[in-house]
A and B are shown apart, each in its own frame.
Chain A
Amino acid sequence: MDLNYAPEDRAFREATRRWFQANTPKVEPKTLAERKAWHRTMYDAGYVGMLWPKEYGGRGATPMQQAIVQDEMARAEAPPPINGLGIGFIGPTIIVHGTEAQKQRYLQKMLTAEEIWCQLYSEPNAGSDLAGLKTRAEDAGDDFFVISGQKIWTSSGPIADWGILLARTDSKVPKHKGISCFLFNMRQPGVDVRPLKQITGSSLFSEVFMTGARAEKSDLIGKLNGGWEIAQTTLGYERGANSLGRVTRYLTAFHHLVRMVKELKRNGKALIDDPVVRAKLGKIFTELEVQRYAALRVLSALSKGEPISAASSITKLSYTEFEKRFFELGVEILGPWGQLMPGSPDDVVEEMSTSSGEPGTFATAYLWSRAGTIYSGSSEIQKNVIGERVLGLPKEVRADRMKG
Chain B
Amino acid sequence: MDFAFTSDQQLLKSSARAFLDERCKPAAVRLLWEDARGASDAMWKEMAQLGWLGLALPEAHGGSDLGMVETALLLEELGRASYPGPYLPTMLVATAINRVGTDAQKGRWLPAVSSGSARGAVALLDGELSWSPEAITTRASSAGTGWKLSGTKPFVAWAHLADVLLVPARGAEGTTVFLVDPASPGIKQTPVTGMDLATRWVNLTLDGVPVGLDAVLGGLGKGQGVLESMLRMGAVGAAAEMLGAGRRCLDMAVEYAKVREQFGQPIGSFQAIRHKCAEMLLEVENTHAAVYYAAWALDAGADDADLAASVAKAYAGDASRKVCGEAIQVHGGIGFTWEYDLHLYFKRAKALEVQYGDADYHRELITRRVTA
> Which residues on A are within 8 Å of B, measured CB to CB?
1-6, 9, 64, 254, 258, 261-262, 272, 278-279, 281-283, 285-287, 289-290, 293-294, 296-297, 299-301, 303-304, 314, 317-318, 380, 382-384, 386-388, 390-397
Contact = CB atoms under 8 A, between A and B. Distances in A.
Contact of B268 (A293, A317, A387): A387
Contact of A387 (B4, B275, B285, B296): B275
A371 B367 CA distance: 29
A282 B274 contact: no
Nearest to A283: B363
B367 A281 contact: yes
A213 B266 CA distance: 48
B33 interface: no
A300 B288 CA distance: 14
Interface residues of B, number: 51
Contacts of A396: 269-271, 274
B4 A290 contact: no
Given A3-B3, A318-B285, A386-B278, 12 more contacts: A5-B1, A281-B370, A285-B311, A285-B367, A286-B363, A289-B311, A314-B285, A317-B278, A318-B282, A383-B278, A391-B277, A397-B265
A262 B367 CA distance: 12
A283 B370 CA distance: 12
B290 A290 contact: yes
B1 A286 contact: no
A282 B6 contact: no
22 contacts: A1-B292, A4-B300, A5-B1, A258-B371, A261-B371, A278-B363, A278-B364, A282-B314, A282-B362, A289-B308, A290-B311, A300-B1, A300-B4, A304-B4, A383-B278, A386-B282, A387-B274, A387-B278, A391-B254, A392-B254, A394-B258, A396-B274
A283 B359 CA distance: 9
Given A3-B3, A290-B289, A384 B271 contact: yes
Interface of B: 1-6, 9, 69, 254, 257-258, 265-266, 268-271, 273-275, 277-279, 281-282, 285-286, 288-290, 292-293, 296-297, 300, 302, 307-308, 310-311, 314-315, 360, 362-367, 370-371
A285 B366 contact: yes
Contacts of B69: 1
Contact of B278 (A281, A300, A303, A391): A391
A304 B2 CA distance: 9
A276 to B, nearest CB: 11
A314 B289 contact: no
A285 B4 contact: no
A282 B370 CA distance: 9
B274 A393 contact: yes
Contact of B1 (A64, A254, A272, A393): A64
Given A300-B1, A314-B282, A384 B274 contact: yes
A394 B268 contact: yes
Given A282-B367, A294-B286, A386-B281, A393 B314 contact: no
A281 B282 CA distance: 22
Contacts of B293: 3, 293, 296
Given A281-B367, A290-B289, A393 B258 contact: yes
Interface centre among B3, B4, B266, B269 (most CB of A within 10 A): B3
Nearest to B268: A393
Contacts of A382: 278
Contacts of A2: 1-2, 296
B277 A387 contact: yes
Nearest to A295: B289
A180 B2 CA distance: 40
B133 to A, nearest CB: 19
B334 to A, nearest CB: 18
B296 A3 contact: yes
Contacts of B315: 286-287, 290
B275 A380 contact: yes
Nearest to B275: A383
A71 B339 CA distance: 51
A269 B40 CA distance: 55
Contacts of A390: 278, 281
Given A286-B311, A318-B286, A391 B1 contact: no
A279 B278 contact: no
A279 B315 CA distance: 13
Contacts of A393: 254, 257-258, 266, 268-269, 273-274, 277
A281 B371 contact: yes
B258 A1 contact: no
A297 B363 CA distance: 23
A395 to B, nearest CB: 6
A89 B258 CA distance: 35
Nearest to A281: B367
B278 A299 contact: no
A380 B271 contact: yes
